[in-house]
Amino acid sequence: MFAEQSSTLDITAAPILAQLSERARETERLGTLPPDLVEQARRAGLFHLAAPRALGGAELPPARIVEILEECCRADGSAGWTIMIGNGSAYAAWLDPAVATDLFGGRTDALSACAFAPTGRLTPSGPKQFQLNGRWGFTSGCLHADWFMTGAFVTDGNGPRMLADRGPDWRLAVFPAAQGSVIDNWDVMGLRGTGSHDIAAAAVSVPEELTMASFFEPARHDGPLWRLPFFTLTGLFLVSFPLGVARRALDEFARLAVSKVRPPGPSAIAEEADLQVALTRAEGDLQAARAFVFDTIGALWDSACAGDVPHVELRARFLLATQQAMRAALSAVDTAYSFAGSSGIHLDHPLQRCFRDLHTASQHIFFSAAASKRYAKSQLNIDQPTFWF
């Protein structure tokens, strides 16, 4: 049934969706996406939807990227999140093209795991050379990654090096996953199958050419997708999650409602007027939020295809759309879960997983109150750093 409803994906990718859904409990028990599903997703190109074509990626238009990731998240939250975060392979576009080509050595299916927070230190150790030390949390997909991309401050004495135009010298450092270590500590409420453990690096040698100030500087590859700033591109990935998970929750709830009878009444709960009103509102809010997301994506893409870096006001509007998507999704999932009653609490029912996964994802910094304020500040002409959107 699930695969039949997944017509938005390419034929090479669609077959995996039913397996992602059917094996969701297995994914949670393992605490990570099963290895064979990782390989299927890898072969289907699902981890490289936005990666540069020059590096073997698909470099798809933004709306298509969101559609595909949305369907993966609809199949299973943990699997979809893992695939979504795995699309950090796109960040190789911020490396020099020749360096990126050498880095992957002709391998177009290499997987990366990313952690942006600058909890690492890049200490100069020679000409154009650093030593990386640090520990990073929430590194989704780290168990099957070939490369780690981690946030770090370049040091200057006992503190970070300060740059006149941006403050601390905050970079992403790229290094082989085999040179780092995984700290097994992912035991959480939702997104249990994402393997988002901590990772660590101890005195890892990183050449300067494998560091990138991607939060502040443009990508090094050419093309409209690379005119989107770093966090705008990241937002394309992340917004797919609430849209996909909430869609699954409402679909599951509609199926449940026509068969569930709440004693002592003889009729299915679908006959309850309160339920009908709640479902109508949840559907309307979610579909409106999704339309808002795709409307702003279209405007971003039009601007990029015209040769421009989308203006900060347009990027702020996209940020607003992503926040609205999460709010509408949370409301939809809460509505479905509450009206489902005891039927929704069983571990073999997708509703409880949608509820847990979405509430866990809502704690991500991208969906935080601080992120929500950025749109208002842009409208109120309050000074703020704009690299975040």
Rounded to an integer, the average pLDDT of 258-264 is 89
| Separation of alpha carbons 351 and 340, rounded Å | 8
Predicted local distance difference test score (pLDDT) of residue 13: 59
Q: Which helix (H) or strand (E) is 160 found in, with range?
A: strand 159-160
DSSP 79-136: HHHHHHHHGGGGGGGGS-HHHHHHHHTT-TT--EEEEEEEEEEEEEEETTEEEEEEEE
Predicted local distance difference test score (pLDDT) of residue 105: 64
- What the block records as the tokens of 91 is 């960040």
| CATH 1.10.540.10 boundaries in the chain | 3-92
- Better pLDDT: 301 or 158: 301
pLDDT one-digit tens code per residue, 144-189 = 999 999 999 999 998 999 999 889 999 999 999 999 999 999 999 9
Instruction: Answer whether residue 51 shows pLDDT above 80.
Output: yes
pLDDT one-digit tens code per residue, 264-293 = 878 999 999 999 999 999 999 999 999 999
Work out the percent of the chain whose per-residue pLDDT is above 90.
Answer: 84
pLDDT one-digit tens code per residue, 26-35 = 999 999 999 9
Predicted local distance difference test score (pLDDT) of residue 5: 42
pLDDT one-digit tens code per residue, 114-147 = 999 999 999 999 999 999 999 999 999 999 999 9
Q: Using alpha carbons only, what angle is made at residue 157 by residues 151 and 160, rounded to the nearest 5 degrees?
A: 30
Q: Are strands 167-168 and 129-136 parallel, antiparallel or unpaired?
A: unpaired
Phi, psi dihedrals of residue 197, rounded to the nearest 5° = -70, 170
- What the block records as the tokens of 237 is 């990935």
Q: Are strands 112-126 and 129-136 parallel, antiparallel or unpaired?
A: antiparallel
| CATH 1.20.140.10 boundaries in the chain | 228-379
Please state, in angstroms and as integers, the Cα–Cα distance from residue 117 to each residue in 83, 87, 138, 198, following that order: 20, 18, 10, 12
The CATH number of domain 228-379 is 1.10.150.20: no
Predicted local distance difference test score (pLDDT) of residue 317: 97
Q: Do 80 and 96 form a contact (C-beta atoms < 8 A)?
A: no
Instruction: Answer whether residue 7 shows pLDDT above 50.
Output: no
CATH topology of domain 3-92: Butyryl-Coa Dehydrogenase, subunit A; domain 1 (1.10.540)
294 three-class SS = helix
Rounded to an integer, the average pLDDT of 240-253 is 98
Q: What is the mean pLDDT of the chain?
A: 93
Rounded to an integer, the average pLDDT of 47-53 is 94
What is the reported pTM? 0.94
The CATH number of domain 112-212 is 2.40.110.10: yes
Q: Using alpha carbons only, what angle is made at residue 212 by residues 206 and 213, rounded to the nearest 5 degrees?
A: 135
Q: Phi/psi zone of residue 18: left (φ > 0), alpha (ψ -120 to 50 degrees), beta?
A: alpha
Q: Which residues pair with 162 in a beta bridge?
A: 168
Predicted local distance difference test score (pLDDT) of residue 190: 98
Rounded to an integer, the average pLDDT of 85-102 is 94
- Better pLDDT: 333 or 158: 333
